[in-house]
Amino acid sequence: MTGIAGKVIAITGASSGIGEAAARLLAERGAVVILGARRSDRLETLAASIVSKGGEASHLVTDVRRRDNVVALVDLATDRYGKLDVLINNAGIAPISLLDDLRVDDWDAMIDVNVKGVLHGIAAALPVFRRQGFGHFVNTLSTAGLKIVPTMAVYAGSKNAVRAISEGLRQESGSSLRVTTISPGYVDTELPSSMTDSALREQGQASMKAMAIPASAIAEAMAFAIAQPNNVDVGEIVIRPTAQA
């Protein structure tokens, strides 16, 4: 199936930022979007806004740290719409810090959401994709994984774990599945609010003010990959502000 119209697309981390922008854009282009995140009020408002513009959206409170929640999100797609064309594993957090600070709880949190959350997505959608004979994973990574700088070790590690998992998935997928990774640079979103170190959070917010590109730019890249014919697998997209070193 070429294009976006008629595709059923589940998105984790759909309540703000890149996930929200992707949901709006893909719905505008005719996809049915299934929205997952923890903040139910944000999901409800987003789904209502999409529906008011003539789109089709369903939502479910989803914590990607819980495998059963992610299974339920995928089940919502297949039960209500009969299939799942794409899973966008997008939920993520970035409580970055220097390793010396030993913010071990934050390390755990990044592994739980950024790595295990994606694995839960794969475990939920892969059997469905195999049964259907088609399917597409779109995983949100980061340019932090391409240029490792101080404070980003664990965050970059979590994203690069998903890079490796995505390539392994692609190798094992055969010709029926597609796997795309998208590595954004600075994007204007709520991501700094997940930073527990207040100085780094302020720095992150300042960098975003100075150079960030809008979340819609990443949504466009996702839409490009999704719109390709089934035998065209867009493997990896890196998209960053021109001002980013």
Q: Which spans of this chain sit near ligand NDP (rule: CB under 6 A)?
A: 12-19, 37-39, 42, 62-65, 90-94, 113, 140, 142, 184, 186-187, 189-191, 194, 215
Shortest separation between residue 229's beta carbon and ligand NDP, angstroms: 26
Distances (CA, A) of 78 to 70, 87, 107: 13, 12, 34
Shortest separation between residue 61's beta carbon and ligand NDP, angstroms: 9
Shortest separation between residue 143's beta carbon and ligand NDP, angstroms: 6
Q: Which is nearer to ligand NDP, 84 or 187 (CB)?
A: 187
Q: Which is nearer to ligand NDP, 113 or 234 (CB)?
A: 113
Q: Which is nearer to ligand NDP, 176 or 242 (CB)?
A: 242
Shortest separation between residue 231's beta carbon and ligand NDP, angstroms: 28
User: Rounded to whole angstroms, how far apart are CA atoms 75 and 14?
Assistant: 17
Q: Which of 107, 129, 137, 155 is catalytic?
A: 155
Check if 155 is active-site: yes
Q: Which is nearer to ligand NDP, 195 or 234 (CB)?
A: 195
Contacts of 142 (CB under 8 A, 6+ apart): 92, 155, 156, 159, 183, 184, 185
Distances (CA, A) of 39 to 45, 63, 186, 205: 10, 9, 23, 22
In degrees, rounded to 5, the angle at the alpha carbon of residue 59 between the alpha carbons of residues 50 and 65 is 135
What six digits make up the tokens of 244? 């980013």
Cα distance from N-terminal residue to C-terminal residue, the chain: 38
Task: Cite the active site residues.
Answer: 155
